[in-house]
Structure 1
Amino acid sequence: MVVEDYFKNNLSDENYRKYFCIYLWWNLTTIIPLRISEFCDIKRDSLIEEEDGFLLKLPRKKQNNRRVQVIDSILIPNRLAKAINIYINSTDNYGSSLTLISYLSLPFQKRYLENKLDPEAFDSKIFLYILNEFYYEIVCKKYGFKIMEQEEVKIAEHNLDLEKVINRKIRPNNTRHFAFLNLMTQGYHPVEIARLGGHVSIYSQYHYHQHLEYWVDSEVLELMLKFSLNQNIGQHTKEIFDEKEFKKKFILRPSENKDVRIPLSIGYCTDPNQNCKVDDHVFCDAWRISFEEYKEKADIILKKINDKENMTKQLLQNLKDLYQIAMKGFKEGLYSEKNVLFNRELIETSKQLKHSLYQLAILKEKVTTNE
């Protein structure tokens, strides 16, 4: 949330040079599963303009004895290519750089130059330093978050705004995991994921299956929802993390059609045409409920949440089962990445899962903080 908001602003030249690597790392490695060492090793001349757009050449590691042909260049969005070109042009005058990120352009580099083995190259140690600085200067000081261990939170939870507490920083290689999970939940075939991730074997993906439940069981849904409901957190950070304000604005937020209250078995509809696109009213954007009725029917609504969670977990298990089948039989025509029917089954299951996740998020948004 902070990264998305911070880089919408006009940054000072110093902050731009210092933190551009954070912007690029977040926008690139949450989509393409790059190791942090690979990200830092991207060459200065890696961006190539083709007829179809811009290709980014990737420095892949661990490619000996390949069982899968890995992808070493990928088409990237024009907006990202434009940002890279602007960065290169604005940092060229600081000196020669072998890597895309210019070490010599960093505002603090003089302190480390004597110990730097290659001043023309950016590396993961410098990236980690910048990431920690970003947390300290931007995430904490500018946006007001606190980084605390879980045990510290338990001791001081009565005096804390828990919505503004971060239990663990995102680490450099975490975004690679995010990218793998995203690719899996989008229905990519395991062989395609291995190629994008630079895996020499698709069996390297097995352990990622254990993390898929994260999308259902954690607070990711709440974070997704808060971000989507508040596109400019820079101006409203205090409001969105104030519990009372959050309830007031998002849980029982007023409808645009204030005079429309069509009674339903639970709650009421605020759409005069009742153009409902879902099977259950509580998943509709036009559905509202008074606090009094919520207290009366909370058990029914919470059961709907539990049912939706169970359905989501079942869809998640179905997707995992399909991946297990594909991994074991990817050399057979029936389960290969070229099989249209099997790929369609992967994509259809992923669509159902994303739809179920979205409905679960909408329902949790409306009721879970009314306790």
Structure 2
Amino acid sequence: MINQEIKSYFPILNQEINGHPLVYLDSAATSQKPVQVIEALKKYYEFDNSNVHRGVHTLGNRATEHYEGAREKVQKFINADSTEEIVFVRGTTTAINTIAQSYGRANVEEGDEIVITYMEHHSNIIPWQQLAKERGAILKYVELEEDGTISLEQVRAAVTERTKIVSMVYVSNVLGTMNPVKEVAQIAHENGAVLVVDGAQAAPHLKIDVQQLDCDFFAFSGHKMCGPTGIGVMYGKKALLNNMEPVEFGGEMIDFVGLYDSTWKELPWKFEGGTPIIAGAVALGAAIDFLNEIGLNEIEKHEHEMAAYAMNEMQQIKGLDIYGPKDPGKRAGIVTFNLKEVHPHDVATVLDMSGIAVRAGHHCAQPLMKWLDVTATARASFYLYNNEADVDRLVEGLRSAKEYFSDVF
């Protein structure tokens, strides 16, 4: 059960901004960190700091144990078949770029197709644009429904026998739309393609089972799920990873180095060149422990309730447009909106004066902004530490902003 006590685990939330108690509604950009994660980082650097996989001394052995222990936690967290399928990277962006540069370059040829959607984050657009240009491939987009969802009919229309890669966000960072990735995986596989899932907005909020989803790759970031920045995960099916070449070369990832040729370590280490993100992995493991203790199903339920309550209250404000599915059951805890006649940056600035943090801009999703026919939007994103009182503060702040700009203009 999510309750008020949860907020007490997050020290940063116990402060005032511009003379008002902080209401943090920007978790889609990055989540706040509980004391358990902060202490895990501190403890690692105070007691266990060492490089991994190299030394035989006690600190090295402890660091390696904690680092590989974190990999086991990730494997269980997303129900991967093996720790060999869990590669630590800097974040979702690095994971998708690695997939594009390694798997993509080896499997996409001139005239082949790469299929994505209009709701993708730039990190799941640009790597495929670059790959398509390099290989002479065709980049295609799945059309969106009027409410910002996708239909399987549109997916079937876009994916053909020439499609080699389908890449899709699980949860939109703008619309909050939850996509049917399991069904999309089936369509991709029927056509001989693989499915890459951008799970950055899903892993913190939903129970993930990559085997049940049957996706071929799944990428997510630690900093959006109570973990630190600079750590993320690239999951890939073992058979695919085994046939992929590394894209970073150097220490840690090698088996044998000769004067003119080298061989690589086995999975997953062949993709982890250089000193890995040890402290980040350890702290990500602590974040996973924290989320598991609360329960991902409880978190998902809580966020649906927050989104439903927020949408109901915000719809009472005349002149406020909400984007994405109208049914709260079809969206995660994200509500993106605009006040008519007011730029979202101005709305966010006024809200910040009342201690309310929301995101404003194109949210690294400019093609989606074009589809919505706007230049930018404001976004409130909820997490396990938010409650109805936070929503009430947001609605009060929006009413004040509307009144303020009505007087100005």
The bucket for the TM-score relative to the shorter chain is under 0.3
Give the structure with the larger helix fraction. Answer: 1
Higher relative contact order (CA 8 A, sep 6+): 2
TM-score by length of 2: 0.20
Give the structure with the larger strand fraction. Answer: 2
Indicate the structure (1 or 2) with the bigger Cα radius of gyration: 1
TM-score by length of 1: 0.21
